[in-house]
Structure 1
Amino acid sequence: MLAEIALRAWTPDDAEWYVRQIADPEIRRFTTEPATLTVEDFRKALDRLTSSDDELGWVAVDPLSGERLANVAAVRNGDTAIVSYWVTRDARGKGVATQALDELCARALTIWPITEFRLYTHADNLASQRVAEKAGFHRMDGMPTQREVYGQKWPVRWFERLR
């Protein structure tokens, strides 16, 4: 079990690492990132992120070694923030995602006047659903059970966490 994580800002130097991580089959299976993501795409997204009042994102790192462990992000829509995350292969099962998600929510509350967080997971991503629950999210009923992701219909489960 990892003792602690830290969140730091993304930099252009993270681009190649990020693109390599997206190629991981498990991340690929459950992420909404395009399979064709390039270093240039990452850098454009980073420019958008740093200039947006409605998007947040950080890389979770080991505070001692600086090793990159996970991605966390949020997009604000009114008083709701939709959050997302993924974890590297070597960091899975160590509590990284739960800690990073919890820290993302805490930071978002200091930046945005929001009342709730929402997230959706692929219905087959049981590990991500457990992370959501450990981070204080509860399953939402009455939400759409499918989302279109790059032309494919994804079966999804929605979760929420109130302020």
Structure 2
Amino acid sequence: MDIRPEQLADDVTLRLAEPADAPALAAIQVENRDRMRATEPYRPDSFYTVEGQRERLEAQVREYTAGRLVPLLLVSDGRIAGAFTLSGVVLGPFRSASLGYWIATDRQGRGLATAGVERVCRIARERVGLHRLEASTRLDNLASQRVLAKNGFEPIGMAPRYLHIDGEWRDHRLFQRILHDDDPNAAH
């Protein structure tokens, strides 16, 4: 996979995450810790440290190199404003991945999630060669559901007790977007 930085607007770029982002990512994770607790699985205290982020980013780079993950950061005004991840990348006849994303609290409501998801869908199709993306949200995460709907994701069901978040197993709404119906045996 050859993923290059993508300009979404004059001051907004989507680019691959790298270990050098650990200090900035740790800082934004600490800033958003309380809000993220309602939508993310439990994170140990080490997750919020520079070293914890460096280790996570190094693991993500290894997974990217192996073709199983695409870790992207959204940078706005020179500052990390969010992240988008294609995980569980499977090629062959399946050509699918799971999409996850978050936007920093102080950057929400500016269309960054919608623009980022749109661009990640394009990257998934054109650079990774995927046919399909899936995503999930908590049932009450209406803002994220709107972002997915604006980007052509369709609801495909509900998964009871899908993820352990904020101390409980939470139900999630499942979505998918078919990116194309090209032959998976064609060169990508």
Map of 1:67 onto structure 2: 79
1:72-120 deviation line (CA, Å, top 9, x unaligned): 0011134211000000111101100011111112112223332110000
Q: Which amino acid aligns with 1:50?
A: V
Contact 1:9 1:58 in 2 (8 A): yes
Map of 1:147 onto structure 2: 162
The within-5 A match list for 1:50-129 is 50-52=61-63, 53-62=67-76, 65-75=77-87, 76-77=89-90, 78-129=94-145
Deviation (angstroms), 1:13? 3.3
- 2:41 is paired with a residue whose SS is coil
Unaligned 5+ runs, structure 2 = 1-7, 180-188
Map of 1:18 onto structure 2: 25
What is the percent sequence identity of the aligned residues? 25
The more displaced of 12-21 and 111-120 is 12-21
TM-score normalised over the length of structure 1? 0.85
Unaligned 5+ runs, structure 1 = none
Aligned residues: 158
Structure with bigger gyration radius: 2
Q: Which runs of 4+ in 1 moved over 6 A?
A: none
Contact 2:18 2:61 in 1 (8 A): no
